[in-house]
Structure 1
Amino acid sequence: MKPATFEVSIAKLTYGGDGLGRHMGKVVFVPFSAPGDRLLVRAVEEKKNFVRARIVRIIEPGPGRSAPVCPYFEKCGGCQWQHIGYERQVAAKRQILEELLHHRFPETHGIPISMRACPRPYGYRSRARMQVRESEPKNVIGFFRCRSHAVEDVDQCPLFTSILNKALDALRRRVIEGTRFPQEVDLLASEEEDVWTGTAATGESEGKAITKKAGMFRYSVTAAAFFQANDLMTEQLAEIVRSCTKGSGSGLALDLFAGVGLFTIPLAAEFSRVVAVESAPEASRLCAINSAGAGMNNIDPICADVLQYLESGEISPLPDLVVLDPPRTGAGVEVMRRIKELKPRTIVYVSCDPQTLARDLSVVSPGDYRIDMVEGLDMFPQTYHFETVVRLTAGS
């Protein structure tokens, strides 16, 4: 017997993408809902304090609803918010960030929290990880389906730049022809050079390097090394981080989880020495190449685990500044404790997950450091993801 249906009104969007409503004292999470929706839903999971439900019928759409542009939307797991107008997406992300920080860090009530919109809500993505599977009657390439490890076959993606869609088309032809690939294939495109790279281009795991530009600097990047997926917003991200370092001194700066040097190279123009710590060998190698290409001889790229480096006792003198841009899992409590022990004047934390950001910030604030700047960037329109930059200054 199917669970009974019930009506629910959606109050807001949550991190994770679902809309949130309430019914009979319980929170109700509904995917692909929009604020202001009045819905008939059916429960698919019921816990003590919340219910997960799916839409049976939209009784009355909320004012922010819009028509999704992608035929795979709601099947492909790549997007969650194509059914919501872009201005409302940005407002929802700002609200999510603000509510989280205000709850965990009351001192942020006096700090303006903004969310920078992307100038191009579609056609912005210049890198992607594709899923490849052998199947009958033909092999498939695409993205994981919503809440599943099954692959939705996708021939084009409206989030991709035109060059990245060309790369996907070329890869798709080879997959269908029977060329064997790993189950995950990274694609990377450069609009500036009208080229793309990755397994589809070379048949190798890394592919050739292409050039990305952010501000005054150029960066060699391969599909095997992390670089931001939204070229339109990457320059803004780098500029925000650079502006956060003003007044932090001019001695040693640590760039942790440095990648190919997006923040490292601008820092080298402001500090006498920059140590760029990155655990991925390919990214660290490219950081060295990019540093030399920029004419910076005061950068020390170190290929090492960040925590092991911080525990090594090799940091001298103590840094004036620490910049960190960890993966979605965050830096971790031990890394934050070690950073606190170094007593830098300024910490700049770049995060792609506000929940792990809050966990990590709680190690140093309130107390030793105060949060004095927060800025969000919508690097990922049509999804619930966003980037956050937080500056912390020594002294409570």
Structure 2
Amino acid sequence: MTTGPTSGGRRSRTGTPPGDAPRRTSPAPHGRRPREKAAGGESLVGSEWTVEVGPIAHGGHCVARHEGQVLFVRHALPGETVVARVTEGRVGDRFVRADAVSVLSASPERVTPPCPYAAPGLCGGCDFQHVSLPYQRQLKASVVREQFSRLAGLDVDPAVRAVPGDTDGLRWRTRVEFAVDQDGRAGLRAHRSRAIIPVDDCLIATHGVIDSGVLDTEWTGVESVDVVDAAHPEEPVLVPVPGPEGSDGSGGLVGELVTDGDWSGEYVVAARGFWQVHPGAASTFLSRVTALLGAEPGDRVLDLYAGSGLFTVRLGELVAPGGFVLGVEGDARAVDNGTRNTEHLDNVEWRANRVDREVRSLVDQQITADLVVLDPPRTGAGKDVMALVAALGPRRVVYVACDPAALARDVRAASEHGYRLASLEAWDAFPMTHHVESIAVLEPASE
């Protein structure tokens, strides 16, 4: 495959706090500051209403109504009757946000949250600690179904599968960003807030993260601390982040180990660069992507949003001899690491470029690809990229997504250019949170 010129870049992928999906790009650390309206109706914050809770919605909350007002309620479950206290919203808003502060009629799937900080007004990282683990996965599956029905016009019914490597949904997060308060104490942010909640443990973080001492250390002059519990080095890496102008954001390099059946590979990645945070996720997704893609010797493969080469390395070996893999990634530092990870393969090429620009260059040169892998940011690839991918004429596209809404929109966009959804599976790479990983296979509709 001959490729076009390089230029530009894409947002760096960094580690994120517990509960926020780590994939592709990072949200503000552990929640966002609630938006303030310059004008509007009377504030409803603090109002308490007794409501019957409706279905789960995308985002970790359930939908309820009170006298015509729509509420997005956290810490609730479908079918419950709760007292909901408004946390954001004004009279006349299309919806308000609320917490279930009292449960009058509980769901049989409700459990006591294992973490004392998983409660209204406290840590915003986990959405579902009050939910039995099997039912968490049922809720996530219902969200995937609803998003595909509403946004793609498709009926899907994927069971959300467990990713091996956690302990009953806990102790799985290998990368955590802790915020630091004015006293130099590391903690976690409240939901949709900059407020920092002091904690003495985080139950979804690995033991290595907590045993690093991050919560027992006084951090002076920094706004956050990233803790990275990678395969190498043996001790977790702590990266103080003094501020946007005080750090290059990388935190140095760490090593990760990945398997695909009998195959194993070692990867070098930036400590604060993108990598799957669940210890079983990278291997699980690599195995699924290679199985679903069906790469063969001689195939020309395009790996888009390739990061540091999780898929690129394995694909380079699978298509040899005679095949070729092009990895495209907007983060130049990730491309440097990807180049290092694939230096033993002479059939792999890298481009540090925005995906849309690079693929457009390929299309303009009338270059085609046999197979395409997409692993985009949470916002998805977008309709322009999906149109360009279709123009390459691949026999199969495997799309890895951390947001079912973005995936559904992109599947719909692909259908407008002759590609159909051939299969869809979902994985619980973020237990106790609302996030769900999906892997979709797209094929030409004519086939």
* CA deviation string 1:88-118 (max 9, x = no partner): 1011001110122133334x43x55221123
Query: How big is the shift at 1:250?
Result: 4.0
8 Å contact from structure 2 (residues 232, 254) kept in 1: no
| 1:338-375 residue CA offsets vs partner (Å, 9 max, x unmatched) | 21222211111111111122222221115500101101
Aligned to 1:194: 234
* Aligned counterpart for 1:130 among listed residues 178, 184, 196: 178
Q: Distance in 2 between matches of 1:56 and 1:160?
A: 26
d(CA) in 1 for partners of 2:308, 2:85: 47
The residue aligned with 2:388 is 338
Q: Structure 1 residues 140, 171: closer, same or farther in 2, change over 3 A?
A: closer
- Partner residue, 2:58: 15
**Amino acid aligned to 2:360:** E
Provide the rounded CA distance (Å) in 1 between the counterparts of 2:141 and 2:203.
24
Looking at structure 2, the residues matched to 373 and 310 of structure 1 have their Cα atoms a distance apart, in angstroms, of 24
The residue aligned with 1:305 is: 354
Aligned: 1:318 with 2:368? yes
Post-superposition Cα deviations, 1:7-32, rounded to whole Å, max 9, x if no partner, equal 32223322111122344455432111
What are the Cα deviations for residues 188-216 of structure 1, in whole angstroms up to 9, with x where unaligned? 11257532224259x98433422212212
SS in 2 for 1:263: helix
Give the AA of the match of 1:375: E
1:158 aligns with 2:203: yes
Aligned partners of 1:249 and 1:320 also within 8 Å: no
1:84 equivalenced with 2:143 (yes/no): no
Rounded Cα–Cα distance in structure 2 between residues aligned with 1:387 and 1:248: 26
1:51-99 residue CA offsets vs partner (Å, 9 max, x unmatched): 5333342111111111112222231111111111111101100111012
* TM-aligned CA deviation for residue 287 of structure 1: 0.8
Q: 3-state DSSP class of the match of 2:251?
A: coil
Contact 2:379 2:406 in 1 (8 A): yes
User: Does the aligned pair in 2 maintain the 1:145–1:152 contact within 8 Å?
Assistant: yes
Q: 1:60 aligns with which of 105, 116, 122?
A: 105
Amino acid in structure 1 at the alignment position of 2:292: C
| Contact kept in structure 1, 2:418 and 2:445, CA below 8 Å | yes
Aligned mate of 2:189, from 144, 155, 163: 144
Find the aligned partners of 1:172 and 1:340 in 2 and give their Cα distance.
52
Match of 1:28 in 2: 71
**1:1-396 matches, cutoff 5 A:** 5-25=48-68, 27-43=70-86, 45=89, 46-47=91-92, 50-74=95-119, 75-106=122-153, 108-109=154-155, 112-119=157-164, 120=166, 121-133=169-181, 135=182, 138-167=183-212, 169-170=213-214, 172-175=216-219, 178=220, 180-181=221-222, 183-191=223-231, 194-200=234-240, 205-215=249-259, 216-246=264-294, 250-271=298-319, 272-292=323-343, 295-313=344-362, 317-365=367-415, 367-396=417-446
3-state secondary structure, aligned to 1:122? coil
**Structure 1 residues 25 and 150: alpha-carbon distance in aligned structure 2, compared to 1, 3 A threshold:** closer
* TM-score of the aligned structures, taking structure 1 as reference length: 0.88
CA separation of 1:200/1:105 partners in 2, compared to 1, >3 Å: closer, same or farther?
Answer: closer
SS at match of 2:379: coil
Contact kept? 2:423, 2:442, Cα under 8 Å: yes
Q: After TM superposition, give the deviation of residue 316 of structure 1 in Å.
A: 7.0
Letter aligned with residue 337 of structure 1: A
- Cα separation, 2, equivalents of 1:140 and 1:60: 38
Aligned residues, how many? Answer: 383
Q: CA deviation at 1:389?
A: 0.7
Amino acid at match of 1:213: L
Q: Is the 8 A contact 2:387 2:417 kept in 1?
A: no
**Following the alignment from structure 1 to structure 2, what is the Cα–Cα distance between the partners of residues 219 and 366?**
37
Amino acid aligned to 2:228: L
Q: Could you tell me the TM-score, scaled by structure 2's length?
A: 0.78
Deviations 1:126-149 (A, max 9, x none): 11222234x1xx223222211112
Paired residues of 1:196 and 1:210 also in contact (CA < 8 A): no
**5+ residue gaps, structure 1:** none
Q: Using the TM superposition, name which of 327-336 and 380-389 deviates more.
A: 327-336
Give the 3-state SS of the residue equivalent to 1:59 in structure 2: strand
* SS state at 1:264 partner: helix
Aligned CA RMSD, in angstroms, stands at: 2.6
Q: Which AA in structure 2 matches 1:265?
A: V
